[in-house]
């Protein structure tokens, strides 16, 4: 990425050797991301508590600092000063390392996300695959926590969480796969760039203004994929209604049962950071990332820094919006049962995600292939790009709608037989 | 610089692989196995094979080892206990390993391996995909059949055959009522 | 290199096997599912019948496509049937005598032979399995049988490392499951587990050898002094080995050793044989028949492909001309297998275990038959034909023997030698089939086994391994002792009050045909011999 703004270049001394510059670059970017992550997490906790309180007709924390905004810092200090307890039966090292193994991969996820126009820490060619791979590592951390604690509730929680992670990872990745087909690559940095222009048609109509609204969510493929992805993200982040692994009314706190003090805080941070990273990822892949009205206009006017700032604002706005949606869902929806959780993943999300990938392939074929590649069966060469997109949108919309109706119908519960209770 | 990183990764791989073998506790061994897989993924990244490195982490760390851990935790007692069996004297295994290593190292070390990387056929993800769909189409499809075989095998081994529809609550109540009726009638 | 639609006929039998497997799996859903044993048997029967009919059809298609049954006349006057005929011609054009498909898949005479053998073996096993339905999941049993056959067919035609390995895994994984199919029975579970553990280790060894071979190939310049061919095809490996220097040849030999060791596990050659008796005894008898017949044949075909296509330049010799190359490795394996396999069979009391050891010793003969394949052209072709001949006879022999044991077990006869007492009175047909199969295995003159062994001995003798032939002759005589131990209770001991044995008609006809084939091939070896020679020459 030649347009990537490397923050540390401002600081680096001219004569420094190359490897030192590289190391400093990475250290500074990592520091910014991690400190930003920690601040974000504190804000998230505060927002969640206030919002839920509002929905439940309570006040929520409002004493520490203005409107209680410093409550999370107070909680953090309390966590620091708590006694660090390791159960006598625990597998000491596994128990100790588990929170770190759970947190590290989530911090690694932040590295490849495009935070704004040109604000990319690492532009990985296989970004989407990297996200999927790294997020699957944190499952190992949960397993270690569950096993290392020597506690039945912890082990149950870990098992539940792994079963849930595996079940929902598949539709999540397949939902992303549809977008990978549309963009023709797995680089996350390129995804927002391809979502410029106006809704649905992007920049395919000559002369149309670049509103930065060509988000994939406005296409039929992106809409279905986005919905599937968001549901799976709720499950991956263990948010209600998918918080079965730590269902406190059933198994105390799941894999976190035996953790206290700072180790508990690390799990807590990991969870909120994962939620935020998934929200950012949803925004990047489906909601145009940093694209928004005004970014292209500022960039064209030669105000690159201002455009980057505006794009960062747009991204954070979208991510926070999605996070608040998660919170509202938590307040509004009850927890699923384990069998409902599994059948929802395998019977609803997975078939729909597969249909969506087929739709995406059809979309690519209708918008990009020439007549020869269609074996001269479809005369698509005569159409303008925007006309082809229109046709593709129509076709995929019909397919996706039909598939959704079909999946809902075949999974409908059989008509309940009249239950006659013996007298 | 690259050499230093390579030595660090390689010694991590070897150390964790040795710990997999000598760990007394099977969960620890599985965790060291994960470390090995992860370090191998890092080695691929060092070779600039991004796709394979990330796929290594996704498949081996994210899927295979988690399933291994899952299987261990589902089948073992929760208490810590020493393994009940011992696989013969350890020095026989050690001698065999050293002998094999000697043969492999002397033979492989004698070969002048080609170390350039100019015309490697598939290194980046799009080329990899194209190769899978063209030259390697046949093994690719065959691999799909292998996965199908493994899936059927897993179902056959793990799943008890049962009637198609699981009994519903209504079925239960009907069965209970039938039993109650028979009890009232005095028939067994 | 891209896959063309016109390449489809060249993969026709394999594609048909895949489709049939999915058909069997899918049609099971439409059957009546219920808990009572009758319904379950009906479901199993349906799957068995569909598999049998389908396999028979595929076998015929393979026969016609290989140009062995009848050849469609070349295009002539346009008639009403011409469209149909040209379709037939197109399909038949996918048969033998064309270059490798995508450089990876040979469709030559040997492939046609291998397909006929393997699909035929699967057909016989499917027919026998009609009486031996598993306790649960019958459709999956036949699906796995079909997919294992598919893997074996591809394995026998592989011209490239990746295809060879993936095909081997395809058949192996299916066989692991089949060996332990009734996992509720401890013996079957043990058999499946043992087969899995040994098989996985052997796959790893094989894969390590393959990676070494690939690495060496990618490090050696081309024959014309150009850059190395970074390629996994056997042709590229052979080209690289031809110009390799001494150090590189050392690595190549290491690769060959590891690959032979990996396949030797599947063939149950002697240092790698310890799984075989337990698996043959513990698995269901039809699966044991499939393992002894098809799995072994496919392994031999894989070795033939690898050794002759990829490593002809390190063949070496195992006789007066020296003791080098893979010929020497095979000679050592053949020696240990012949001696230990036959000696270990002597004290066995369980019929299937005894036949398992006999099957191991037959693998020794196969190794002996593989020896001359590195030699010069006329000798090599004759030896290849002898190998094919031996494979056909051994396949039919082990299907007949294990099939007869399967029929006995289905009728409730226990599996110790004394349980066979008086079989000549209790069921003359089974007694005759078992006798013919065992006499053929022992190599008694009027039967096919004699001709096959003779051809193998001649090939090995001419390749210079006379010492090994002498040892093989001695072990053949030793083998007579334990073969007679099986025949003695059948013919010499009275039935006493043991009940008669009834056999299902399909099984009876299948086994009788197999026994007749053994007699016919022994009395009239000519046609099969010519067929084998034609297959070898149709490269």
Query: What are the sequence ranges of the domains in chain B?
Result: 1-77
Whether B116 and chain A come into contact, CB under 8 Å, resolves to: no
Helices (H), C158-245: 161-179, 186-219, 234-242
Whether A152 and chain B come into contact, CB under 8 Å, resolves to: yes
Nearest by CB to B170, from A152, A186, A417: name it: A417
Q: Report the number of distinct structural domains present in chain C.
A: 1
Whether the CB-CB separation of C268 and C223 falls below 8 Å is answered with: no
Q: How far apart are CA B170 and CA A418, in angstroms?
A: 8
**pLDDT band (50, 70, 90) for residue C56:** very high
Residue A233: partners with Cβ closer than 8 Å, 6 or more residues away: A172, A278, A279, A281, A282
With CA atoms as reference, report the closest residue to A154 among A52, A267, A236, A70: A267
R_g over Cα of chain C: 23
Q: Enumerate neighbours of C (3 or more CB pairs within 8 A).
A: B
Of A104, A126, A364, A373, which to mutate for an interface test with B (greatest number of B Cβ within 10 Å)? A126
| Cα distances (Å, whole numbers) of residue C235 to C158, C214, C231 | 11, 12, 9
Domain range enclosing C383: 315-539
Name the least confident of A199-203, C218-222, C484-488, C523-527.
Answer: C218-222
Which single residue is written with the structure tokens 């509730």? A153
Mean pLDDT of A239-251: 72
The pLDDT of residue C79 = 65
Q: How far apart are CA B24 and CA B14, in angstroms?
A: 18
* HEC sequence for chain B: CHHHHHHHHHHHHHHHHHHHHHCCCHHHHHHHHHHHHHHHHHHHHHCCCHHHHHHHHHHHHHHHHHHHHHHHHHHCCCCCCCCCCCCCCHHHHHHHHHHHHHHHHHHHHCCCCCCCCCCCCCCCHHHHHHHHHCCCHHHHHHHHHHHHHHHHHHHHHHCCCCCCCCCCHHHHHHHHHHHHHHHHHCCC
3-state secondary structure of A119: strand
**pLDDT band (50, 70, 90) for residue A7:** very low
Q: Do C166 and B142 touch (CB under 8 A)?
A: yes
pLDDT tens-digit series, residues B101-126:
898 888 888 887 776 655 554 457 77
Residue A384: partners with Cβ closer than 8 Å, 6 or more residues away: A204
- What are the tokens at A173? 């990745």
The pLDDT of residue C52 is above 90 = yes
Of B152, B157, B158, which to mutate for an interface test with C (greatest number of C Cβ within 10 Å)? B152
Query: What are the sequence ranges of the domains in chain A?
Result: 7-81, 84-348
Mean pLDDT of C157-162: 89
Mean pLDDT of C321-337: 86
Whether the CB-CB separation of B2 and B21 falls below 8 Å is answered with: no
Q: How far apart are CA A42 and CA C237, in angstroms?
A: 61
Q: Do B138 and C212 touch (CB under 8 A)?
A: no
Chain B residues touching residue C143 (CB < 8 angstroms): 152
Chain A residues touching residue B34 (CB < 8 angstroms): 140
Residue C509: partners with Cβ closer than 8 Å, 6 or more residues away: none
Chain B residues touching residue A19 (CB < 8 angstroms): 1
Whether the CB-CB separation of C297 and C114 falls below 8 Å is answered with: yes
Query: Which DSSP helix (H) or strand (E) runs through C325?
Result: helix C325-345
- Exposure of C288 in the CB half-sphere (CA atoms within 13 A): 34
Helices (H), A184-287: 190-193, 220-236, 248-251, 261-286
Angle between helices C246-267 and C325-345 (to 10 degrees): 20
Query: Which DSSP helix (H) or strand (E) runs through A84?
Result: none
Looking at CA atoms only, how far is residue B111 from chain A in angstroms? 33
CATH topology of domain B1-77: 1.20.120
Mean pLDDT of C92-115: 73
Chain B residues touching residue C163 (CB < 8 angstroms): 138-139, 142
Q: Do A94 and B27 touch (CB under 8 A)?
A: yes
The pLDDT of residue A417 is above 80 = no
If 0-12 CB within 10 Å is exposed, 13-18 middle and 19+ buried, where does residue A137 land?
buried
Mean pLDDT of C70-98: 65
CB atoms inside a 10 Å sphere around CB A240: 18
**pLDDT band (50, 70, 90) for residue A45:** confident
Dihedral of alpha carbons B20, B26, B32, B36, sign? positive
Chain B residues touching residue A159 (CB < 8 angstroms): 70, 73-74
The per-residue pLDDT of chain C, averaged, comes to 85
Whether A361 and chain B come into contact, CB under 8 Å, resolves to: no
Q: How far apart are CA C12 and CA C20, in angstroms?
A: 12
Chain B residues touching residue A88 (CB < 8 angstroms): none
| Cα distances (Å, whole numbers) of residue A98 to A158, A266, B36 | 12, 10, 17
Looking at CA atoms only, how far is residue C172 from chain B in angstroms? 10
Q: How far apart are CA A286 and CA A360, in angstroms?
A: 14
* HEC sequence for C479-522: HHHHHHHHHHHHHCCCCCCCCCCCCCHHHHHHHHHHHHHHHHHH
Name the least confident of B27-31, B110-114, B162-166, C356-360.
Answer: B162-166
Mean pLDDT of C241-261: 87
Whether B114 and chain C come into contact, CB under 8 Å, resolves to: yes
Mean pLDDT of B41-45: 88
Q: Do C102 and B148 touch (CB under 8 A)?
A: no
Residue C431 domain flag: yes
Q: Do B111 and C251 touch (CB under 8 A)?
A: yes
Residue of chain A whose Cα is closest to the Cα of B26: A147
The pLDDT of residue A365 is above 70 = yes
Of B127, B153, B161, which to mutate for an interface test with C (greatest number of C Cβ within 10 Å)? B153
Residue A61: partners with Cβ closer than 8 Å, 6 or more residues away: A46, A49, A50, A53, A68, A71
The pLDDT of residue A258 is above 60 = yes
Looking at CA atoms only, how far is residue A65 from chain B in angstroms? 42
Q: Do B153 and C150 touch (CB under 8 A)?
A: no
Residue C186: partners with Cβ closer than 8 Å, 6 or more residues away: none
With CA atoms as reference, report the closest residue to A133 among A163, A112, A158: A112
The pLDDT of residue B163 is above 80 = no
The pLDDT of residue A134 = 87
Q: Do B119 and C227 touch (CB under 8 A)?
A: yes
Residues 68-107 of A with CB under 8 A from B: 91, 94
Q: What angle do CA A344, A345, A350 make, to 5 degrees?
A: 120
Residue C389 domain flag: yes
Whether the CB-CB separation of B20 and B33 falls below 8 Å is answered with: yes
Which single residue is written with the structure tokens 């390995």? C165
pLDDT tens-digit series, residues A9-22:
444 445 566 677 77
Mean pLDDT of C86-100: 63
Beta strands A119-120; A114-116: pairing state? antiparallel
Looking at CA atoms only, how far is residue A38 from chain B in angstroms? 26
Residue of chain C whose Cα is closest to the Cα of B118: C227
Maximum average pLDDT range among A352-361, B122-131, C317-326: A352-361
pLDDT tens-digit series, residues C394-403:
999 999 999 9
Q: How far apart are CA C21 and CA A77, in angstroms?
A: 64
Chain B residues touching residue A422 (CB < 8 angstroms): 173, 176-177, 180
- Exposure pattern of C319-335 as b/e (b: 16+ CB <10 Å)? beeeeebbbbbbbbbbb
Whether B180 and chain A come into contact, CB under 8 Å, resolves to: yes
Whether the CB-CB separation of A49 and A113 falls below 8 Å is answered with: no
Q: Please give the backbone phi and psi of residue C21, each rounded to the nearest 5 degrees, phi first.
A: -60, -45
- Exposure of C470 in the CB half-sphere (CA atoms within 13 A): 5
Maximum average pLDDT range among A56-65, A88-97, A198-207, C254-263: C254-263
Looking at CA atoms only, how far is residue C485 from chain B in angstroms? 37
The pLDDT of residue C320 is above 80 = no
Maximum average pLDDT range among A24-33, A381-390, C344-353: C344-353
Nearest by CB to C140, from B121, B145, B155: name it: B155
3-state secondary structure of A355: helix
Whether B101 and chain C come into contact, CB under 8 Å, resolves to: no
Looking at CA atoms only, how far is residue B117 from chain C in angstroms? 11
Q: Please give the backbone phi and psi of residue A296, each rounded to the nearest 5 degrees, phi first.
A: -65, -35
Whether A125 and chain B come into contact, CB under 8 Å, resolves to: yes
């Amino acid at each position: 990425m030649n347009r990537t703004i490397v923050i540390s270049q401002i600081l680096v001394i001219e004569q420094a050797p190359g490897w030192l510059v590289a190391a400093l670059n990475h250290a500074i970017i990592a520091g910014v991301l991690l400190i930003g992550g920690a601040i974000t997490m504190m804000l998230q906790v505060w927002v969640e508590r206030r919002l839920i309180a509002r929905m439940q007709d309570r006040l929520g924390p409002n004493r520490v600092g203005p409107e209680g905004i410093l409550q999370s810092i107070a909680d953090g200090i309390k966590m620091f000063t708590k006694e660090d307890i390791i159960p006598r039966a625990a597998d000491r090292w596994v128990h100790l390392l588990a929170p770190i193994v759970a947190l590290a991969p989530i911090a690694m996820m932040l590295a490849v996300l495009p935070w704004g126009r040109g604000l990319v820490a690492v532009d990985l060619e296989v970004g989407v695959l990297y996200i999927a791979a790294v997020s699957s590592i944190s499952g190992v951390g949960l397993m270690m926590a569950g096993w290392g604690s020597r506690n039945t509730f912890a082990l149950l929680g870990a098992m539940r969480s792994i079963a849930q992670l595996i079940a929902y990872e598949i539709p999540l990745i397949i939902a992303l796969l549809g977008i990978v087909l549309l963009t023709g690559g797995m680089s996350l940095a390129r995804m927002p760039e391809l979502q410029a222009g106006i809704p649905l048609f992007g920049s395919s109509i000559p002369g149309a203004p670049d509103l930065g609204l060509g988000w994939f969510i406005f296409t039929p493929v992106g809409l279905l994929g986005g919905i599937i992805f968001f549901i799976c993200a709720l499950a991956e982040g263990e948010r209600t209604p998918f918080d079965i692994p730590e269902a406190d009314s059933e198994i105390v706190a799941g894999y976190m049962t035996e953790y206290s003090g700072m180790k508990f805080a690390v799990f807590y941070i990991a969870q909120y950071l994962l939620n935020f990273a998934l929200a950012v990822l949803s925004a990047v892949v489906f909601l145009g990332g940093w694209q928004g009205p005004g970014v292209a206009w500022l960039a064209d006017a030669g105000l690159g820094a201002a455009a980057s700032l505006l794009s960062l604002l747009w991204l954070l706005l979208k991510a926070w919006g999605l996070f608040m949606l998660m919170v509202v869902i938590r307040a509004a929806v009850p927890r699923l049962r384990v069998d409902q959780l599994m059948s929802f993943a395998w019977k609803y999300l997975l078939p729909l995600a597969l249909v969506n990938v087929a739709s995406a392939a059809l979309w690519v074929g209708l918008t990009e292939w020439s007549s020869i590649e269609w074996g001269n069966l479809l005369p698509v060469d005569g159409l303008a790009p925007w006309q082809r997109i229109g046709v593709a949108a129509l076709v995929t919309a019909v397919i996706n709608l039909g598939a959704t109706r079909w999946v809902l119908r075949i999974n409908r519960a059989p008509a309940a037989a009249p239950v006659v209770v013996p007298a | 610089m690259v050499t230093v990183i390579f030595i660090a990764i390689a010694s991590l791989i070897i150390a964790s692989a040795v710990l997999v073998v000598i760990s007394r506790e099977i969960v620890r061994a599985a965790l060291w196995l994960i470390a090995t897989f992860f370090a191998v993924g890092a080695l691929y990244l060092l070779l600039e094979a991004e796709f394979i490195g990330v796929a290594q982490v996704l498949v081996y760390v994210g899927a295979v080892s988690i399933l291994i851990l899952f299987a261990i935790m589902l089948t073992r007692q929760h208490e810590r206990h020493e393994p009940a069996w011992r696989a013969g004297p350890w020095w026989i295994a050690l001698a065999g390993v050293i002998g094999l290593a000697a043969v492999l190292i002397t033979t492989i070390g004698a070969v002048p391996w080609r170390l350039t990387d100019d015309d490697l056929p598939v290194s980046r993800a799009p080329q990899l995909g194209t190769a899978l769909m063209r030259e390697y189409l046949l093994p690719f499809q065959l691999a799909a059949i292998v996965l199908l075989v493994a899936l059927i095998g897993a179902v056959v081994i793990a799943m008890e055959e049962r009637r198609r529809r699981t009994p519903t609550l209504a079925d239960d109540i009907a069965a209970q009522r039938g039993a109650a009726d028979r009890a009232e009638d005095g028939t067994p | 290199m891209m896959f063309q639609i016109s390449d489809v006929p060249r993969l026709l039998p394999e594609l048909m096997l895949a489709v049939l497997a999915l058909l069997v799996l899918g049609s099971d859903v439409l059957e009546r599912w219920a808990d009572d044993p009758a319904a379950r048997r009906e479901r199993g029967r349906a799957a068995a019948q569909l598999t049998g009919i389908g396999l028979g059809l595929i076998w015929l298609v393979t026969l016609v496509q290989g140009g062995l049954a009848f050849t469609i006349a070349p295009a002539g006057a346009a008639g009403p049937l011409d469209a149909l005929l040209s379709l037939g011609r197109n399909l038949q054009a996918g048969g033998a005598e064309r270059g490798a498909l995508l450089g990876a898949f040979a469709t030559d005479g040997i492939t046609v032979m291998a397909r006929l053998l393997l699909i035929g073996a699967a057909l016989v096993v499917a027919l026998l399995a009609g009486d031996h339905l598993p306790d649960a999941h019958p459709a999956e049993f036949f699906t796995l049988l079909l997919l294992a056959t598919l893997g074996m067919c591809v394995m026998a035609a592989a011209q490239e490392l990746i295809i060879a390995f993936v095909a081997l895994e395809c058949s192996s994984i299916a066989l692991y499951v089949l060996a332990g199919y009734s996992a509720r029975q401890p013996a079957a579970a043990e058999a499946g587990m043992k087969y899995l553990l040994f098989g996985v280790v052997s796959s790893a060894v094989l894969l390590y050898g393959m990676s070494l071979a690939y690495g060496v190939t990618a490090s050696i310049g081309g024959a014309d002094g150009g850059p190395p061919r970074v390629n996994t095809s056997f042709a590229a490996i052979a080209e690289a080995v031809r110009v390799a220097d001494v150090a590189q040849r050392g690595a190549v030999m290491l690769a060959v050793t590891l690959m032979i060791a990996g396949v030797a596990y599947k063939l149950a050659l002697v240092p790698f044989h310890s799984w075989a008796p337990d698996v043959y005894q513990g698995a269901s008898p039809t699966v044991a028949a499939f393992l002894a017949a098809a799995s072994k044949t496919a392994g031999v075909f894989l070795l033939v492909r690898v050794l002759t296509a990829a490593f002809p330049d390190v063949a070496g010799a195992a006789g007066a001309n020296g003791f080098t190359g893979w010929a020497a490795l095979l000679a050592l394996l053949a020696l240990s297998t012949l001696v230990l396999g036959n000696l270990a069979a002597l004290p066995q009391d369980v019929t299937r275990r005894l036949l398992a050891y006999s099957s191991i010793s037959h693998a020794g003969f196969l190794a002996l038959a593989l020896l001359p394949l590195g030699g010069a052209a006329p000798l090599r072709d004759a030896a290849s034909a002898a190998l094919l001949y031996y494979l056909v006879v051994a396949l039919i022999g082990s299907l007949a023997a294990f099939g007869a044991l399967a029929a006995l077990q289905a009728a409730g006869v226990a599996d110790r030698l004394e349980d066979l007492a008086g079989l000549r009175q209790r069921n003359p047909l089974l007694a005759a089939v078992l006798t013919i199969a065992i006499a053929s295995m022992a190599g008694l003159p009027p039967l096919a086994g004699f001709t096959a062994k003779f051809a193998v001995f001649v090939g090995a003798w001419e390749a210079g391994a006379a010492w090994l032939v002498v040892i093989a002759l001695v072990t053949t005589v030793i083998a007579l002792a334990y073969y007679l131990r099986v025949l003695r209770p059948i013919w010499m001991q009275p039935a006493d009050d043991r009940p008669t044995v009834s056999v299902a008609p399909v099984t009876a006809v299948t086994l009788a045909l197999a026994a007749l084939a053994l007699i016919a091939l022994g009395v009239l070896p000519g046609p099969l011999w010519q067929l084998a020679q034609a297959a070898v020459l149709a490269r």
